[in-house]
């Protein structure tokens, strides 16, 4: 049973020290949890000791082909790393070029933890907080980690932690909340049948998704129909998760959460808007089903507050949106300190599936299943140490240096530099 938390919360360590014994016991407990989290955030992630000499970043290039982007980083010693950007880079490349790249040039890549922290202050970048800053930053971080992995002869997972699991169990992430129930069920069946999958996630609630209609929320009663239908189709052997993408208010989220409990769903993702912290905490404390949140988070603050107030069960930073793997590992460490689980959100496309499994394999408190959409990608690559296949519900994590992926050099050469 979760402990109830005082709604007054904690305003800071200075306040606690100033009023002494007048502070309620629960507030002191929250203050102690904040202090523990803040100590964790100061701990470096990158294994700097693997690199005996400086790795100075000499060049950073953004490359484009057919509206898709790569990032290429080179050191003064000639080491190279290439990453695949998120599809949204077509809107955000000016931020990459003007706000991110200048700060990294000339820096020692061994100081990546500190660089990632300070870049938010450079040129008032914190004003761009969110996907606008996180996505370009993650793209560059991935390229640097790839370069460092090749220098050290280690996988990215071994650079940011200790490899906990050579294979990662995955769930099939499905969409189609805007479609009628029967059509959605047919598409879900088809998606699950493509791979040897033992877990899946469905969408509940509605959204104004890819439409300008202000009132579009999806077919009425869809959630009440699809929840029992999915359980009936796949039975108890299938682990099923639900994602509301912040659609509900508190009252409706409680109602739907209890429906999900009835049909033995494994967690309830983003039941309310991601930054409605008090509502997320209340749901966590009133529902039996675990509550997950964090896909949209762009700073440590939301995770920090929810963990300090025992207001979340599963943290879900997105590698791209949150600004990279090192920042995501710090969230995982914060969660682990209080017995909580991390199941990172995964952006689709590119090499998102390999980036995600590298992160997950290094996390001791990783959840049972992790997001997977498909192996479909525009990227021309080879992975010699891991097949593109889900076997018994799991994806093998590449063990080669960096992300364990070799991009086709002829394909890379076709890209033009973005200036």
Separation between Cα atoms, residue 165 and residue 362, nearest integer Å:
7
Do 230 and 131 lie in one domain? The reply is: no
Do 147 and 179 lie in one domain? The reply is: no
397: tokens are: 């994590």
Separation between Cα atoms, residue 356 and residue 344, nearest integer Å:
8
Do 223 and 336 lie in one domain? The reply is: yes
Place of tokens 């799991």: 394
Backbone phi, then psi, for 33, in 5-degree steps? -65, -40
Q: Do residues 407 and 71 make contact, with C-beta atoms less than 8 angstroms apart?
A: no
Do 124 and 238 lie in one domain? The reply is: no
Classify residue 37: in a domain, yes or no: no
pTM beyond 0.75: the answer is yes
At 256, which CATH number?
A: 3.20.20.120
Do 239 and 207 lie in one domain? The reply is: yes
Place of tokens 């002191």: 28
- Domain span at residue 286? 158-400
- How crowded is residue 59: how many other Cβ atoms within 10 Å of its Cβ? 12
3-state secondary structure 156-177: HHHHHCCCCCCEEEEEEECCCC
3-state secondary structure 290-309: CEEECCCCCCHHHHHHHHHC
> 37: which residues sit within 8 A by CB, 6+ positions away?
304, 307, 308, 334, 337
For helices 325-336 and 300-308, angle between their N-to-C axes, nearest 10 degrees: 10
Q: Do residues 382 and 408 make contact, with C-beta atoms less than 8 angstroms apart?
A: yes
Question: Is 136 buried (19+), middle (13-18) or exposed (0-12) by CB count in 10 A?
Answer: buried
Do 211 and 122 lie in one domain? The reply is: no
Where on the phi/psi map is residue 205: left (φ > 0), alpha (ψ -120 to 50), or beta? left
Domain total for the chain? 2
Do 114 and 174 lie in one domain? The reply is: no
Q: Do residues 385 and 398 make contact, with C-beta atoms less than 8 angstroms apart?
A: yes
Residue-wise pLDDT tens for the chain (419 aa)? 444 333 333 333 343 444 444 456 668 999 999 999 999 999 999 999 999 999 999 999 999 999 999 999 999 999 999 999 999 999 999 999 999 999 999 999 999 999 999 999 999 999 999 999 999 999 999 999 999 999 999 999 999 999 999 999 999 999 998 889 999 999 999 999 999 999 999 999 988 777 788 877 877 899 999 999 999 999 999 999 999 999 999 999 999 999 999 999 999 999 999 999 999 999 999 999 999 999 999 999 999 999 999 999 999 999 999 999 999 999 999 999 999 999 999 987 799 999 999 999 999 999 999 999 999 999 999 999 999 999 999 999 999 999 999 999 999 999 999 99
Do 189 and 301 lie in one domain? The reply is: yes
Do 362 and 262 lie in one domain? The reply is: yes
Separation between Cα atoms, residue 287 and residue 285, nearest integer Å:
6
Classify residue 93: in a domain, yes or no: yes
Query: What is the greatest pairwise CA distance in the chain?
Result: 69
- DSSP secondary-structure letter at 96? I
Separation between Cα atoms, residue 67 and residue 88, nearest integer Å:
10
Q: Is the alpha carbon torsion for 270, 185, 288, 343 positive or negative?
A: negative
Do 165 and 133 lie in one domain? The reply is: no
- CA 220-224-226 angle, to 5 degrees, is 95
């Amino acid at each position: 049973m979760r402990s109830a938390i005082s709604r007054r919360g904690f305003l800071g360590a200075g306040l606690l020290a100033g009023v002494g014994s007048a502070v309620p016991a629960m507030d002191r407990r929250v203050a102690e949890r904040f202090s523990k989290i803040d100590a964790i955030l100061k701990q470096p992630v990158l294994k700097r000791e693997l690199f005996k000499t400086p790795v100075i970043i000499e060049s950073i290039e953004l490359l484009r082909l057919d509206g898709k982007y790569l990032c290429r980083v080179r050191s003064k010693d000639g080491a190279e790393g290439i990453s695949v950007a998120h599809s949204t880079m077509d809107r955000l490349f000016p931020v990459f070029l003007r706000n991110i790249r200048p700060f990294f040039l000339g820096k020692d890549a061994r100081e990546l933890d500190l660089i990632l922290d300070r870049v938010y202050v450079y040129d008032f970048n914190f004003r761009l907080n969110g996907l606008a800053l996180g996505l370009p930053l993650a793209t560059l971080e991935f390229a640097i980690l790839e370069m460092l992995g090749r220098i050290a002869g280690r996988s990215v997972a071994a650079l940011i932690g200790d490899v906990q699991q050579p294979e990662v169990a995955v769930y099939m992430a499905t969409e189609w909340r805007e479609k009628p129930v029967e059509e959605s069920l047919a598409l879900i069946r088809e998606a699950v049948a493509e791979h040897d999958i033992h877990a899946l996630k469905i969408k509940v609630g509605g959204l104004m998704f890819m439409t300008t209609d202000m009132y579009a929320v999806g077919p009425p009663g869809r959630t009440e129909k699809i929840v029992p239908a999915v359980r009936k189709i796949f039975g108890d052997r299938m682990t099923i998760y639900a994602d509301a993408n912040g659609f509900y208010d508190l009252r409706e989220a409680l109602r739907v959460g209890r429906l999900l409990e009835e049909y033995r769903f494994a967690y309830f993702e983003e039941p309310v808007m991601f930054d409605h912290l008090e509502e997320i905490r209340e749901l966590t404390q009133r529902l039996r089903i675990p509550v997950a949140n964090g896909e949209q988070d762009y700073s440590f603050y939301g995770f920090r507050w929810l963990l300090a107030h025992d207001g979340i069960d599963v943290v879900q930073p997105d590698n791209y949106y949150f600004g990279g793997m090192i920042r995501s590992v710090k969230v995982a460490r914060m969660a682990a300190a209080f017995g909580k689980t991390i199941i990172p959100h995964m952006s689709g496309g590119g090499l998102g599936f390999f980036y995600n499994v590298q992160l997950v394999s290094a996390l001791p408190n990783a959840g049972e299943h992790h997001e997977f959409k498909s192996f479909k990608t525009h990227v021309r690559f080879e992975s010699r140490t891991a097949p593109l296949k889900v076997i018994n519900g799991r994806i093998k994590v590449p063990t080669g240096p960096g992300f364990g992926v070799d991009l086709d050099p002829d394909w890379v050469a076709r890209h033009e530099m973005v200036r």
